[in-house]
Amino acid sequence: MKVGFYQFNPLFGRKHVNLEKVTEATREAQMDLLVLPELFATGYQFTSKAEALNLSEPVPEGETTQAMVRLSREQNIHIVAGLAEQDGERLYNSAVITGPNGFIGVYRKTHLFFEEKLWFEPGDSGFRVFDTSVGRIGIMICFDWVFPESMRTLTLMGAEIICHPANLVLPWCPSAMPIRSLENRVFAVTANRIGSECRTADQCLTFIGTSQITAPDGSILARAPEQEEALITVDVDLAMAANKRLNPYNHLLEDRRPEFYKC
């Protein structure tokens, strides 16, 4: 199975430009599963709830989800893409999954970061694993990585590969993800963005790029540069993630002792 990410610099508020850029970039790409960054069509740094509301869309009827459905059909691929979701007056920082047969589902970000708390509701979907024709796909969004419970929960739910749309600004995630993959024996695809947004006088956010694909043995299968656009794919064998046995005596999940854990 071929998995990949597209790291680029979304332009704030220019949905059609960003959707067109993704469509063009992926037109020739041969892969089974593509991961796009968090909020890839709208940009990240909202300055008011009204602005966030204006750029958010219902799922799955909204134009961004429908564009992903079309792209999935045309390219015969599964796509996980971050977007701003509107549900009545409530907004969520969400990610949709689409496949060759259409819309599959949505995940709403559990752990909001920084000023996201001003515009978005904390996600209420809970972590979700989607059993697809290409594998068992779990989703988390950006800052969710900080909480080991996110990937452990997805692993306990049966995820083989974790798709991780991101807009990372802190530097630690690229070093942490190989360990997150190792401690759960799963693949992970972090699709981050590049560029900066300076939408208020006193605050610029610079995104760190460094999107990557990590394997159940903790290896880094691919890593993008910090500030260059990159469409990278690798071959993965999901059977590696299905095997949680470390040796004849140890099993990663069966050896857990939850009665001694505080969580």
What is the contact surface with ligand ACM in residues (CB under 6 A)? 38, 113, 142-143, 167-169
CB-facing half-sphere around the CA of 63: CA atoms within 13 A: 11
Q: Smallest gap, in angstroms, from Cβ of residue 74 to ligand ACM?
A: 29
Catalytic residues: 38, 109, 142
Q: Smallest gap, in angstroms, from Cβ of residue 66 to ligand ACM?
A: 24
Q: What are the Cα distances from residue 222, in Å, to 57, 115, 245?
A: 32, 31, 25
Q: Based on CB atoms, which residue is closest to ligand ACM, 6 or 44?
A: 44
Q: Smallest gap, in angstroms, from Cβ of residue 93 to ligand ACM?
A: 8
Q: Smallest gap, in angstroms, from Cβ of residue 234 to ligand ACM?
A: 24
Residue type, 82: G
Sheet holding 161-165, edge to edge: 128-132, 135-139, 161-165, 187-191, 212-214, 220-223
Give the span between the Cα atoms of 212 and 2, in whole angstroms: 14
Q: What share of the chain is helix, strand, coil (3-state, %, to 5)?
A: 25, 30, 40
- 178 torsion bin: left (phi>0), alpha (psi -120 to 50), beta (else): alpha
Q: Based on CB atoms, which residue is closest to ligand ACM, 95 or 236?
A: 95
Give the span between the Cα atoms of 165 and 168, in whole angstroms: 9
Q: Based on CB atoms, which residue is closest to ligand ACM, 31 or 188?
A: 188
Q: Based on CB atoms, which residue is closest to ligand ACM, 111 or 136?
A: 111
